[in-house]
Chain A
Amino acid sequence: MDAVSLLPCLYAFVACLGFCVIYHIRGLGMVICGLGGTLGWLVYLLVSAAGGSVYFASFLAAVSGSVYSETMARLRKCPVTGYLIVSIFPLVPGAGIYYTMDYFMWGQAEQGMQTGLQTLGIAGCLAVGVLLVSSAVRMYTVFQSRMRKNVK
């Protein structure tokens, strides 16, 4: 993998900074979110380069993005939503919606369907990745507070 193929990670960082302002994230939070977006895309690229499918790459990228966000939320004692929103932003299949629409507009219904289903599939993979991590964290939190009660 050469440097040029990593350029999108840098673009993702810049784009995430812009969206941080839109979602009212300030100061250090902006850098943390930007790095989250970069990390997600880096994982996506690495998995793709290793021969993983689009779905698997999206899934692993979402998992890494949300592990990162949950960690940062714990460290800074802030709700995880803020970090999560921006960190998985570059993975969102915005291009998929566009191409689906474009195919249908030119009457290529079959390709349109295919792209549309792929877009939905990627969105599903992202959701499952995020869910897996957030459920695990919530269960761990409950487990931890039970343990603490037992000790008392």
Chain B
Amino acid sequence: MDYDMLLKLAMELGVRLQKSGAEIYRVEESVVRLLAAYGVSGEVFAIPNCLIVSLTTGTGEQKTALRRIPSHGTDIELLEAYNDLCRKLCHNPPPEQEALDRVFAEEKSGRDWPFYTQLCAYFVGTGGFSLFFGGTWADAACSGLCGMAICCCLKVTRRLRASLFNQTVFSAFVSSLLAAACVYARLAEHVPFVTIGALMALVPGVLFTNSMRDIMAGDMVAGLVKLVESMVIGGAIALGTGAGLALARAAGGL
């Protein structure tokens, strides 16, 4: 058995699961199960930005690998694909090289939405939430515009490798300025509803819930990292929106 290849396979699958947004326990369980399917005992430790896999070879030698995981979004389609692949590999383990090829092949089959579809999605999502929180149809349309602005801001700041905090502050700032501008131009009536709808694209509700789930599941470090991250994002939203609206007020718009 090729232990190096097996270690590489386990690592690759774990990293990919985590990058597509899997929970910590799912990553750890999947890797352990995969190793067990090949009849190898191993240990795995995952926190949101790092994955360590270690296994014991037939001669009792220890092999360990470590990978840092960059900040990533959520891609449920890829997550489901890797989860499914992991189940198949565990059920009927092929030779290591073939398994690794199948892991790599999965990425190519994962398609990204074209940019204009993403823009439309942000428009529908944020506009819908503006209506949901009590805005009028005009508010919703402006909120959708702000949502599209957030989409563009995120895209640009991600390309500039800005931190999550900076990404959020910048996006919230731009969207609240735009919201104030819409109300100033009498396109919309209520600044709060326009802004809140757009902000739903940034709010870390999912992150907060996941952090609590991790803490309760016993993954303290992972939970704490996510908890702090969600607090920072919450603060960034307040800061960015506050700065944008204050600027608009100072300019005499409202």
**Which positions in A face B, CB cutoff 8 Å?**
8, 11-12, 14-26, 29, 77-79, 81-82, 84-85, 88-95, 97-102, 104-105, 123-124, 126-128, 130-131, 134-135, 138
Pairwise interchain contact A23-B208, C-beta atoms closer than 8 A: no
- Can you show 29 pairs from A to B with CB atoms below 8 A apart? A8-B131, A12-B128, A14-B131, A18-B121, A21-B125, A22-B201, A23-B21, A24-B77, A25-B77, A77-B84, A78-B83, A79-B26, A79-B79, A81-B21, A81-B26, A82-B80, A85-B74, A85-B206, A90-B129, A95-B196, A97-B203, A101-B242, A123-B208, A123-B209, A124-B212, A126-B208, A127-B208, A127-B213, A131-B213
- Is B167 positioned at the interface, with any CB of A under 8 Å from its CB? no
Beyond A79-B26, A94-B203, A130-B212, whether A101 also contacts B125 by CB under 8 A is no
Minimum CB–CB distance for B60 against chain A, Å:
29
Minimum CB–CB distance for A9 against chain B, Å:
9
Neighbouring B residues of A82 by C-beta, 8 Å: 76, 79-80
Interface string of B117-128 (1 = CB under 8 A from A): 110111111111
Neighbouring B residues of A104 by C-beta, 8 Å: 238, 242
- The list of the 7 closest CB pairs from A to B, nearest first, reads A18-B125, A15-B128, A92-B205, A21-B121, A18-B124, A127-B212, A82-B76
Pairwise interchain contact A15-B200, C-beta atoms closer than 8 A: yes
Minimum CB–CB distance for B1 against chain A, Å:
27
Pairwise interchain contact A11-B113, C-beta atoms closer than 8 A: no
**Which positions in B face A, CB cutoff 8 Å?**
21-23, 26, 74-80, 83-84, 113, 117-118, 120-129, 131-133, 192, 195-196, 199-201, 203, 205-206, 208-210, 212-213, 216-217, 234, 237-238, 241-242, 245-246
Which chain A residue has the least Cβ–Cβ distance from B132? A11
Pairwise interchain contact A19-B125, C-beta atoms closer than 8 A: yes
Pairwise interchain contact A81-B79, C-beta atoms closer than 8 A: yes
Pairwise interchain contact A18-B77, C-beta atoms closer than 8 A: no
Neighbouring A residues of B199 by C-beta, 8 Å: 94, 97-98
Neighbouring B residues of A26 by C-beta, 8 Å: 77
Pairwise interchain contact A94-B129, C-beta atoms closer than 8 A: yes
Beyond A19-B121, A21-B113, whether A88 also contacts B209 by CB under 8 A is yes
